């Protein structure tokens, strides 16, 4: 069973493959100038607005607080302009070899990929095409949750290779989740899909097979085994924290639906003290000796 898997290599060598949940750590790896962090991009916008913060002030700020401060300090332009500026700072980003290896592993295993990143490094790494099924009910460029990158259109999100952007994508600047209001909007949008009359909790009680998020990235998040890497799971990640709480509650209602999930972290990151939180969410912590062991692990190769 999953509890016997103690290293990232053990998980990657499994016969059945988990979906991947990938954070910005994959972009920060081997980035020597630090320009690929959200903090760096927000600091660039702050400097353009002639705002200065000390290192101690920045340390005490979450990224959502930082964005909201920048937004409140601006003249009366609309919010989308600031999001567009943030997206423009990622225009020069290019995938590296470890992007190709990791996404290539997922493609070879028909494993879904969910990312909280806005850039398209993952899709560019394997030349995946953008698919926007706008005819599907509920499409909006604020929440393009039915859109994905893949080699061809897919029918089953939880068992097909596709790259999904949970926090929005650069090509739709209004979709990217940066401020607290953005995160609360995502919770509001997903809440009825979880608790509504046709929501996932009602489906669990009534043994139904369909729900409003069945054609979105939420389906593999709830129903696929998950391997999480490069994602800090920080205190400002209110939306994803809530979804993982609902995932755990869903498994409590229907234990037979439970899927294993692993959270991969570097031993030096200090995440060991957070193990009670991860355990409560049904996540098994996998500690790697280095970031190289995570992003350049030979087991990513087919």
pLDDT at 1: 44
Looking at the fold, whether 13 and 43 belong to one and the same domain comes out as no
What is the helix (H) or strand (E) element at residue 220, kind and residue range?
helix 218-223
Looking at the fold, whether 60 and 191 belong to one and the same domain comes out as no
Looking at the fold, whether 50 and 188 belong to one and the same domain comes out as no
Domains identified in the chain, total number: 2
Q: Give the span between the Cα atoms of 185 and 203, in whole angstroms.
A: 24
Looking at the fold, whether 223 and 75 belong to one and the same domain comes out as no
DSSP strand pairing (261-266 vs 226-229) = parallel
Q: Give the span between the Cα atoms of 224 and 257, in whole angstroms.
A: 9
pLDDT at 157: 95
Looking at the fold, whether 263 and 130 belong to one and the same domain comes out as yes
Looking at the fold, whether 105 and 62 belong to one and the same domain comes out as no
Looking at the fold, whether 166 and 26 belong to one and the same domain comes out as yes
Domain endpoint, select from 73, 88, 103: 88
Domain endpoint, select from 66, 88, 110: 88
Instruction: Give percent of the chain above pLDDT 90.
Output: 66
Cα 25 from chain centroid? 11
Q: Give the span between the Cα atoms of 176 and 24, in whole angstroms.
A: 14
Sheet with strand 261-266: strands edge to edge: 129-131, 148-150, 163-165, 113-115, 19-22, 226-229, 261-266, 283-288
Looking at the fold, whether 244 and 122 belong to one and the same domain comes out as yes
Looking at the fold, whether 76 and 209 belong to one and the same domain comes out as no
pLDDT at 5: 77
Looking at the fold, whether 125 and 253 belong to one and the same domain comes out as yes
Both tokens of residue 194?
């979880």
Task: Tell me the pTM.
Answer: 0.93
Inter-residue contact 28 to 37 (CB < 8 Å) = yes
Cβ-Cβ contacts under 8 Å for 26 (sequence gap 6 or more): 98, 99, 102, 117, 121, 122, 229, 230, 295
Whole domain around residue 71: which residue ranges? Answer: 38-88
Query: What residue has token string 């009359």?
Result: 197
Buried b (16+ CB within 10 A) or exposed e, 56-71: eeeeebebbebbbbbb
**Longest CA pairwise span in the chain (Å):** 56
Which segments in the chain show pLDDT lower than 50? 1-2
pLDDT at 80: 54
Q: Is 228 helix (H, G, I), strand (E, B) or coil?
A: strand
Looking at the fold, whether 136 and 57 belong to one and the same domain comes out as no
Domain endpoint, select from 68, 88, 108: 88
Looking at the fold, whether 247 and 288 belong to one and the same domain comes out as yes
């Amino acid at each position: 069973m999953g509890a016997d898997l103690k290293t990232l290599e053990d998980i990657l060598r499994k016969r059945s493959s988990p979906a991947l949940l990938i954070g910005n750590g994959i972009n920060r790896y081997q980035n020597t100038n630090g320009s690929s962090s959200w903090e760096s991009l927000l600091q660039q916008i702050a400097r353009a607005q002639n705002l200065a913060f000390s290192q101690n002030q920045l340390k005490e700020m979450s990224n959502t607080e930082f964005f909201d401060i920048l937004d409140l300090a601006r003249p009366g332009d609309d919010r989308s302009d600031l999001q567009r500026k943030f997206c423009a700072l990622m225009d020069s980003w290019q995938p590296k070899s470890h992007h190709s290896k990791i996404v290539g592993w997922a493609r070879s295993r028909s494993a879904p990929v969910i990312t909280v990143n806005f850039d398209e490094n993952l899709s560019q790494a394997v030349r995946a095409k953008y698919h926007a099924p706008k005819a599907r009910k509920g499409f909006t460029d604020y929440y393009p949750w039915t859109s994905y990158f893949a080699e061809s259109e897919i029918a089953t999100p939880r068992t097909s290779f596709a790259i999904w952007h949970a926090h929005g994508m650069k090509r739709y600047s209004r979709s990217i989740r940066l401020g607290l209001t953005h995160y609360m909007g995502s919770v509001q949008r997903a809440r009825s899909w979880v608790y509504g009359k046709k929501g996932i909790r009602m489906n669990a009680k009534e043994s139904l097979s369909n729900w409003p998020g069945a054609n979105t990235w939420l389906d593999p998040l709830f129903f696929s085994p998950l391997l999480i890497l490069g994602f800090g799971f920080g205190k400002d990640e209110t939306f994803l924290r809530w979804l993982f709480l609902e995932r755990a509650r869903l498994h409590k209602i229907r234990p037979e639906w439970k899927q294993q999930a692993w959270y991969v972290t570097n031993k030096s990151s200090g995440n060991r003290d957070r193990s009670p939180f991860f355990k409560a969410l049904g996540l098994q912590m996998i500690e790697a000796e280095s970031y190289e062991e995570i992003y350049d692990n030979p087991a990513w190769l087919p």
